Amino acid sequence: MLKEAAAEFLGTFVLIVFGLGVVAQTVLSKSANGSYLGINLGWGLAVMLGVYTAGGVSGAHLNPAVSIALAVRRGFPWPKVPAYVAAQIAGAFVGGMRQVQGAMGTAGIFATYPQPFLSTLGGLIDQLVGTALLMACVLAITDQRNAGPPSWLAAPLIGLLVVAIGVAFGFNAGYAINPARDFGPRLFTAIAGWGGEVFSAGNGWWWVPIAGPIAGALTGAVVYDSFVGRYLPNRGVEL
């Protein structure tokens, strides 16, 4: 259990450090050294590197929603879920140590917030749909019963999947699609006293990037299994 938790911690740390780094560089340079597309590409590469970092030991969930969905739909041991989730949040917490104070400080580097036109319900649906797409496509990419790629190619494809979600759905609420990605850095900035508003801003928005991705991952797994997985040869995969 310890080795898996250590791998999840480091993999999530790598994911968050690169992901927040590209956001910080773009925001603080006022897009002189970055762009919206650059942010999407950066997060995709961050996910790929996180998967390569932890995959051989823990399976590189790097996302509490993924761990919970795999426990519900793929027989991942429930006793391991708390350790995985704690390690993921801890890795994101440590990876969030990139606060810039003063006039250039912005909570939006470390956490996601909705656009003014988006209601809380709309944001919840946005996070649910984005994570459902993530989970369904991750299962498709890694399902060896399907027309999946070689195992070494899964990480780049999952990274490209994150890029696709970002360029297609990132405008509304920053496509957190990972409770650890949003909650870990948000928690760090609050504890450090650098921005208590990270929990109060956006009409208490902070719970949406937690509940939405968890519900979305479960939805995506059910949809994949219902429309595709159930029709593939069963090779020891529980559907």
Mean pLDDT, rounded, for 34-56: 94
In angstroms, how far is CA 103 from the centroid of its own chain? 29
Compute the distance between CA of residue 151 and CA of residue 141 in angstroms, rounded to an integer.
9
Q: By CB neighbour count within 10 A (0-12 exposed, 13-18 middle, 19+ buried), where does 10 fall?
A: buried
Residue 177 belongs to a domain: yes
Asked whether residue 188 is assigned to any structural domain, the reply reads yes
In a domain, 78, yes or no: yes
Confirm whether 235 is domain-assigned.
no
pLDDT of the residue at 182: 86
More confident residue, 193 or 69: 69
Query: For residue range 180-190, what is the model confidence (pLDDT) as tens digits?
Result: 988 888 887 77
- Percent of all residues in the chain with a pLDDT value above 70, rounded to a whole number: 87
104 domain-assigned: no
Domain residues for the domain of 172 are: 2-98+113-230
The mean pLDDT of the chain is: 87
pLDDT of residue 83 exceeding 90, the answer is yes
User: What's the rounded Cα separation, in Å, for the pair 137 and 157?
Assistant: 10
Here the tokens at position 78 are 């429930």
pLDDT attached to residue 105: 53
User: Would you say residue 56 lies in a domain?
Assistant: yes
More confident residue, 229 or 185: 229
Are 209 and 131 contacting, i.e. CB atoms less than 8 angstroms apart?
no
- Number of domains within the chain: 1
- Of 234 and 80, the one with more pLDDT: 80
Exposure b/e, 45-57, CB count within 10 A at least 16 = b: bbbbbbbbbbbee
Q: Give the confidence band of 29 by pLDDT, cuts at 50, 70, 90.
A: confident
* CB-based burial, 175-199: b 16+ in 10 Å, e otherwise: bbbbbbbbbbbbbbbbeeebbeebb
Q: Phi-psi region for residue 202, left (φ > 0), alpha (ψ -120 to 50) or beta?
A: left
Rounded distance, CA 229 to CA 13, Å? 32
Alpha-carbon span 148 to 137, nearest angstrom: 11
54 and 10 in contact (C-beta within 8 Å)? yes
Q: What is the CATH number of the domain that holds 61?
A: 1.20.1080.10
State yes or no: pLDDT of 164 exceeds 80.
yes
